[in-house]
Amino acid sequence: FDEALLDTFTDGCLVLHRGHIVYERYFGALERHVPHSCQSITKSYAGTLAASYVHEGVLDESKTISHYLPELRGTGWEDATLRQVMDMQTNLDCTEDYTKEDASFRCDYLSEIRKQGKHGEFSYRSVNTNVMAWVMSRVIGRSFAELLQTRLWTPLGCEEDAYVDIDSTTGMPRAHCGLNATLRDLARFGELMRCEGTWKGQQLIPASVVHDLHFGDHPAKPVPRSGYTYRSQWWVSHNELDSLEAHGLYGQVLYISPKAEMVIAIFASHPESFSRIDHIRAPQMLA
């Protein structure tokens, strides 16, 4: 197993079973107290917060983005609903090419993005997450990083400080990829979700939010991964283990299986942005 992890450029792997660490291993320079980039796993943190605020009535998922952010009127966001943004169902003229310095998922391009067709079909675009976080910040009056701290990091009693990268032009926290955290604290978030939002007797995330995630989106709406749907910035497997998954560039994985009572957190530094390694199947086999 260790050899397989090394072959997939793994920096660290942690397995929880019923909330207890049953496997923890670090490779290379990564250590227990050292934060690592979560990449797009950050999206699942942001989506969980947004879904919680919708459940609590702070946000209305049926409202358009321009309702919350008038400065985006006349852009591709004008008639997109918050729910469409949360589920990546916007049809926007932008790229997800991470190799370009001027890629349009950057925060300073949000007001320049135009619509290229009717919203409603799945299209993975990181700009959705940044606009979703912008809506939360506008309504609540705190940045994404502050919301993450007050709603999750502090109540969870995370072992180490985390930090969120900011956009160099706007100063906005990068909600689509910017979280840096330790492996143990990532697994802690996974355990919270496995336990339906409850942590040490406190309901940090409404249970209905987690239930909604497991239900997923309508299976007729296609996503790139066979058998999966995408809901509130999470990949929903609909498999026999009822797993939720969060994935990030270069091999980052958070795998949550309530039926197996297991959480698997993986940090990696794969040389290819989209690794050929099947990180989806590997945790299922382990579970």
pLDDT exceeds cutoff 50 at 278: no
pLDDT digits (tens, 9 = 90+) for 96-151: 766 555 554 455 578 888 888 999 999 999 999 999 999 999 999 999 999 999 99
Q: What pLDDT is recorded for position 227? A: 80
DSSP 58: S
pLDDT at 94: 84
176 CB-near residues (< 8 Å, 6+ apart): 40, 42, 43, 46, 105, 126, 127, 129, 130
**Is pLDDT at 166 greater than 50 in this prediction?**
yes
Q: Are strands 179-181 and 36-37 parallel, antiparallel or unpaired?
A: antiparallel
Q: What percent of the chain has pLDDT over 70?
A: 86
Residue 224 has pLDDT above 60, yes or no: yes
The three-state secondary structure class of 77 is coil
Q: What is the pLDDT of residue 7?
A: 67
Q: Is the pLDDT of residue 162 over 60?
A: yes
What pTM was estimated for this model as a whole? 0.92
Phi and psi torsions of 274, nearest 5°: -110, 100
Reported confidence tier of residue 154, pLDDT bands at 50, 70, 90: very high
Q: How confident is the model at residue 204 (pLDDT cuts 50, 70, 90)?
A: very high
Q: What is the pLDDT of residues 52-75, one digit of tens each?
A: 999 999 999 999 999 999 999 999
Count of other CB atoms within 10 angstroms of residue 240: 11
pLDDT value at position 1?
62
Q: Which residues contact 164 (CB under 8 A, 6 or more apart)?
A: 42, 144, 145, 148, 173, 174, 175, 178, 179, 180
Distance CA 235, CA 87 (A): 10
In the chain, the domains with their CATH numbers are: 2-286 (3.40.710.10)
pLDDT surpasses 80 at 277: no
Average pLDDT over residues 176-183: 97
Q: Which residues contact 123 (CB under 8 A, 6 or more apart)?
A: 88, 89, 90, 91, 92
